[in-house]
């Protein structure tokens, strides 16, 4: 059992949890992920590691409540446990001194981007971070990102906070103005954002690393459900990734595959919300 030691509500739908998982913390590196299971009936949920503390034996998870399983995760409190926290899985980010790099994070993607930006910063890179979200309430960790960035741009889609723009806009300006300077770009966020970041950087031929979060079960190469089409053929996100060259990813196939269980996901959410309402009614009656 893996105990929750700390919980922060970053927005209505974004939660942070510090979880006891010493065997994962001991090995975790930026860019890797874990598989989390809520309980005996739970599914295996892949989540990128947002932070880790080897000494305390803890890892930090940040997740957005988008489906039944993440809603159930979010309903857990300090002291509650997860059935499984297994990892660290996938290849860690290749950290080198590249020179000037751009780290682009969208929404909940800011969480896995943070340890990468931090490691790049520690390795002596000049880190330019561009973070954004749909609206102000979905933004978090601006301060933490600022602490590991040499330059930072913050934007929201609706203009409710700082610059009103999609992250691709300041990125394009940056490439236009200082294109030769940027050695590499990391982009983590919704698939659609990563697609457009990759399209934005492609004409400038700046290597662009994306971290994919596809549907998967075991996370160890066993099911192949996570396979992504690259120029050179299909690869598994769990063992060949999760980071890939964004210019080689077949994004339309990736987006279609993510939608495969949409109907089932919707049914599961409805059922969960119905159960929660029933619980409330029963509590009220008691």
Partner 1 sequence: MAALTQRERLAIPRQEMPTQDPQVRRTNFNEVALGFSQELALREADRCLQCAVPHCVEGCPVGVLIPQFIKALREGDLTGAVAAMKVKNGLPAICGRVCPQETQCEARCVLGKKGEPVAIGRLERFVGDFELAGRTCPLVRTPSTGKRVAIVGSGPAGLTCAVEMGRLGHQVVIFESLHKAGGVLTYGIPEFRLPKSVVNGEIDYAMECLGIEIRTDHIIGRTLTMRELLSEFDAVFIGSGAGLPSFMNIPGINYNGVMSANEFLTRVNLMKGYQFPEYDTPVKVGKRVAVIGAGNVAMDAARCSLRLQALRAAQSGEEAGEVHIVYRRSHEEVPARAEEVHHAEEEGVIFDFLTNPVEILGTEKGQVCGMRCIRMALGEPDSSGRRRPVPIEGSEFEMEVDTVIMALGTSPNPLVFVDAEELERTRHGTVVADAATMRTRMARVWAGGDVVTGAATVVSAMGAGKVAAADMQRYLEHGGEW
- We find the least distance from the C-beta atom of residue 194 to partner 1, in angstroms, to be 18
58 binds partner 1 (CB under 8 A): no
54 binds partner 1 (CB under 8 A): no
DSSP letters of 59-81? EEEEEE--SHHHHHHHT--TT-E
The C-alpha atoms of residue 35 and residue 218 are separated, in whole angstroms, by 8
How many residues are listed for the chain in this entry? 286
Q: Which is nearer to partner 1, 12 or 275 (CB)?
A: 275
68 binds partner 1 (CB under 8 A): yes
Q: Which is nearer to partner 1, 133 or 254 (CB)?
A: 254
The C-alpha atoms of residue 122 and residue 29 are separated, in whole angstroms, by 13
- Which helix (H) or strand (E) segment holds residue 240: the answer is helix 237-240
Number of residues that bind partner 1 (CB under 8 A): 44
- We find the least distance from the C-beta atom of residue 32 to partner 1, in angstroms, to be 8
The C-alpha atoms of residue 21 and residue 87 are separated, in whole angstroms, by 9
| Contact with partner 1 (CB under 8 A) among 10, 19, 24, 128 | 24
Q: Which stretch binds partner 1 (CB under 8 A): 46-54, 85-93, 127-135, 197-205?
A: 85-93
- Cβ distance 169 to 155 under 8 Å? yes
234 binds partner 1 (CB under 8 A): yes
257 binds partner 1 (CB under 8 A): yes
- Cβ distance 238 to 226 under 8 Å? yes
Q: Which is nearer to partner 1, 30 or 85 (CB)?
A: 85
Q: Which two tokens stand for residue 156?
A: 């929201």
The C-alpha atoms of residue 227 and residue 242 are separated, in whole angstroms, by 11
The C-alpha atoms of residue 117 and residue 102 are separated, in whole angstroms, by 9
**Burial (CB count <10 Å: 0-12, 13-18, 19+), residue 3:** middle
Q: Which among 21, 47, 216, 51 has a CA at the least distance from the CA of 119?
A: 51
| Contact with partner 1 (CB under 8 A) among 78, 123, 147, 256 | 256
Q: Which is nearer to partner 1, 45 or 145 (CB)?
A: 45
Q: Which stretch binds partner 1 (CB under 8 A): 102-110, 136-144, 170-178, 267-275?
A: 267-275
Strands 100-106 and 126-133: parallel
Considering only residues 170 to 229 of the shown chain, the ones binding partner 1 according to CB under 8 A are 217-218, 220-225, 227-229
**Burial (CB count <10 Å: 0-12, 13-18, 19+), residue 285:** exposed
37 binds partner 1 (CB under 8 A): yes
Estimate to the nearest angstrom the gap between the alpha carbon of 44 and the chain centroid: 16
41 binds partner 1 (CB under 8 A): yes
Q: Which stretch binds partner 1 (CB under 8 A): 12-20, 80-88, 103-111, 146-154?
A: 80-88
Cα-trace Rg, the chain: 19
235 binds partner 1 (CB under 8 A): no
Q: Which stretch binds partner 1 (CB under 8 A): 22-30, 144-152, 160-168, 193-201?
A: 22-30
Would you tell me which residues interact with partner 1 (CB under 8 A)? 23-24, 27, 37-38, 41-44, 68-69, 83-89, 217-218, 220-225, 227-229, 234, 239, 250, 252-253, 256-257, 259-261, 264-265, 267-268, 271
């Amino acid at each position: 059992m893996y105990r929750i030691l700390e919980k922060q509500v970053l927005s209505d739908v974004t939660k942070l949890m510090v979880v006891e998982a010493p065997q994962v913390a001991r090995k975790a590196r930026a860019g890797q992920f874990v598989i989390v299971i809520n309980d005996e009936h739970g599914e295996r949920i892949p989540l990128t590691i947002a932070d880790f503390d080897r000494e305390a034996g803890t890892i930090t998870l940040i997740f957005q409540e988008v489906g039944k399983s993440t809603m159930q995760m979010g309903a857990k409190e300090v002291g509650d446990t997860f059935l499984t926290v297994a990892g660290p899985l996938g290849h860690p980010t290749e950290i080198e001194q590249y020179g000037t790099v751009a780290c682009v994070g969208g929404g909940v993607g800011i969480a896995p981007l943070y340890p990468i930006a931090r490691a790049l910063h520690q390795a002596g890179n000049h880190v330019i971070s561009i973070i954004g979200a749909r609206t102000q309430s979905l933004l978090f960790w601006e301060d933490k990102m600022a602490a590991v960035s040499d330059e930072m741009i913050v934007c929201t889609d609706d203009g409710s906070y700082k610059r009103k723009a999609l992250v691709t806009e300041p990125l394009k300006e940056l490439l236009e103005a200082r294109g030769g300077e940027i050695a590499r770009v990391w982009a983590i966020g919704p698939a659609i954002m990563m697609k457009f970041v990759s399209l934005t950087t492609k004409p400038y031929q700046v290597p662009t690393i994306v971290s994919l979060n596809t549907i998967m079960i075991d996370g160890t190469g066993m099911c192949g459900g996570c396979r992504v089409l690259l120029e050179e053929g299909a690869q598994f996100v769990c063992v060949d990734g999760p980071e890939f060259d964004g210019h080689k990813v077949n994004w339309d196939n990736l987006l279609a595959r993510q939608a495969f269980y949409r109907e089932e996901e919707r049914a599961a959410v409805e059922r969960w919300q119905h159960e929660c309402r029933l619980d409330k009614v029963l509590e009220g009656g008691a």
